[in-house]
Amino acid sequence: AADEGAARYLNATVRSDRADLHESLDRLRAQVPAVKHVSLVVSWYGDDLRAGVCKIRPCVELTEKETSPYEWTVNGLSRAAAREISKDALGRPVYGGTPSDRSVVEAIRELKRRGYKVTFYPFIMMDIPAGNTLPDPYSANGAGVGQPAFPWRGRITCHPAPGFAGTVDKTGTANTQISALFGACTPAQFTRGADSVAFTGTASEFGVRRMILHYAHLCEVAGGVDAFLIGSEMPGVTSVRRNTTTAFPGVERYVTLASDVRGILRAQTEISY
């Protein structure tokens, strides 16, 4: 990062003469030589436990920062246009930001160059700061004020949640809310570059589908991966029903998403949840 002539390395905290990725992988090989398969975890961030309004998007630690030789971009989003991670009482980001598309591509290629198999793991973190005044879905009629700080993504659910007075579980409203969380992005709304993927759909739509379809395309830009996850640990979403029988809209949408991802990734890539 550069600021009025001062600069420091962003990706070299262990040693000043080489990137952390190279240093870490060298140590992995030396200390655990039998490892053959590596999971690469990359996070986007949710901002609400209510499925109907939650946005899941890439975030940065700082929106005002100059980087060289490459500028941060994810899914066509620039650093200046990205959402900033919440800060603690000392003004420090509570999470690390989303890695740029280019750095993800380079990481996949480096892992494969070293002979590792790669599982790509898109990971949802919840950036809901303490002291918020968001309606709490886990309260009677959703009337509670304030959601838990930095909760588990598994708590994203319909509003009000199942088991609470006034819940919309087993209704068409629950179906609508779950649909909003996933969004309506299609595989064709992504454009591949040499080391990035851009989005041509509605710019304000940030949901599960945009995140997962983006990274399916990005993995192909990188030359492919051995396994790809379409999600993990989302029981609050997959247990919601849209009627009084056994229709689970979250499960249905993950099934559709798996099919869409299958059409993007090469045949030998395993897909799981």
> Mind listing the pLDDT tens digit for each residue in 127-147?
999 999 999 999 999 999 999
Tell me the C-alpha distance between 88 and 212, whole Å: 29
- Whether 238 shows a pLDDT value over 90: the answer reads yes
Taking the C-alpha atoms of residue 273 and residue 228, their distance in angstroms, rounded to an integer, is: 8
Nearest-angstrom CA–CA distance, 68 and 10:
10
Local confidence band at 1 (pLDDT 50, 70, 90 cut-offs) = very low
Residue 2 — very low, low, confident or very high, per pLDDT cuts 50/70/90? very low
Per-residue pLDDT, 136 = 98
Are residues 51 and 181 in contact, defined by beta-carbon separation less than 8 angstroms?
yes
Q: Is the pLDDT of residue 19 over 90?
A: no
User: What does pLDDT average to over the chain?
Assistant: 94
The answer to whether residues 201 and 177 touch, using CB atoms and an 8 Å cutoff, is no
Instruction: Count Cα neighbours of 2 within 13 Å in the Cβ-side half-sphere.
Output: 8
Provide mean pLDDT across the span 89-105: 95
Output the CA–CA distances (angstroms, integers) from residue 97 to 24, 140, 153, in the order listed.
19, 35, 17
Which residues are bridge partners to 41 per DSSP? 121
On whether the CB atoms of residues 264 and 221 are closer than 8 A, the answer is no
pLDDT digits (tens, 9 = 90+) for 116-127: 999 999 999 999
- pTM of the prediction? 0.94
Exposure string over 147-180, b if 16+ CB within 10 A, otherwise e: beeeeebbbbbbbbbbebeebbbbbeebbebbbb
